[in-house]
């Protein structure tokens, strides 16, 4: 067997599709600067300036959001809904016509499926890593609530928190929140975030004039 036999016709196509996927993910990715705890990640949830992240990243403190899709423009942010029990928070910035993330149904996931994480590990902006779903598990919160979690072998580091876990089609299936055992990433399933949004956002968002 020689080297030329490995250049299968599907390879360039697959590479191109992955590059397009990475570019699309970066457009809906933000960087969150919490001046108390440092840098984390988040995703654009709605085009009118609603951002989803972890509670431990953006649930409190003086916050600013950096929009990669707008040449790293910086916007002050305020917390409009937070649930520390599931480690999720929604922020609002005064911006419009933003590119929201594509959301998938995390209840359709299976062990072994390909997933990607994108965030800012160790300050590397928009850094992409790949892996598979290792288990569909659950965890018990401090208040005794059982919540579903996603475990994967994607490489995560400080700066990935609040960023998306996405499937091979580019749909967000989870929000990365921590690493356990040194090499297993844990994400909050996006259907939990959707339920939180349905409950909290309608009463939390205050209409204001926004600037582009």
Q: Which one of the listed residues 28, 55, 56, 106 is annotated catalytic?
A: 56
Residue 79 has pLDDT above 90, yes or no: yes
pTM for this one? 0.87
pLDDT at 113: 96
Q: Which domains does the chain have, with CATH numbers?
A: 106-194 (2.40.10.10)
Q: Which of 106, 105, 118, 113 is nearest to 132 (CA)?
A: 113
Q: Which one of the listed residues 48, 106, 161, 191 is annotated catalytic?
A: 161
Q: What is the pLDDT of residues 60-77, one digit of tens each?
A: 778 999 999 899 999 999
Q: Which one of the listed residues 28, 48, 55, 87 is annotated catalytic?
A: 87
Catalytic residue list contains 28? no
β-bridge mates for residue 135, sequence order: 151
pLDDT at 204: 54
Positive or negative: CA dihedral 81, 124, 68, 176 = negative
Q: How far apart are CA 65 and CA 57, in angstroms?
A: 11
User: Which position has the higher pLDDT, 85 or 204?
Assistant: 85
Q: What is the pLDDT of residues 119-171, one digit of tens each?
A: 999 989 999 999 999 999 999 888 888 999 999 999 999 999 999 999 999 99
Average pLDDT of the residues of the chain = 87
Catalytic residue list contains 161? yes
Catalytic residue list contains 64? no
pLDDT at 17: 76
């Amino acid at each position: 067997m020689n080297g030329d036999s490995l250049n299968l016709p599907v390879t360039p196509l697959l590479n191109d599709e992955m590059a397009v996927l990475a570019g699309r993910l970066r457009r809906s990715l933000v960087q969150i600067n919490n001046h108390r705890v440092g840098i984390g990640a988040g995703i654009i949830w709605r085009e009118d300036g609603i951002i989803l992240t972890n509670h431990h990243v953006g649930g409190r403190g003086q916050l600013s959001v950096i929009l990669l899709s707008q040449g790293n423009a910086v916007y002050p942010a305020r917390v409009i809904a937070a649930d520390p029990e599931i480690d999720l928070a929604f922020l609002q910035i005064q911006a419009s016509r933003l590119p929201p993330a594509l959301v998938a149904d995390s209840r359709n996931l299976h062990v072994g499926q390909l997933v990607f994480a994108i965030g800012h590990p160790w300050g590397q902006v928009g850094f992409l890593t790949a892996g598979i779903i290792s288990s569909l598990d659950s965890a018990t919160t401090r208040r005794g609530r059982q919540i579903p979690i996603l475990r994967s072998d994607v490489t995560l580091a400080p700066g990935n928190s609040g960023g998306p876990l996405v499937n091979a089609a580019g749909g967000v299936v989870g929000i990365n929140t921590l690493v356990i055992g040194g090499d297993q990433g844990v994400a909050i399933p996006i259907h939990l975030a959707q339920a939180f949004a349905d409950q909290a956002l309608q009463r939390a968002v205050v209409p204001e004039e926004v600037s582009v």
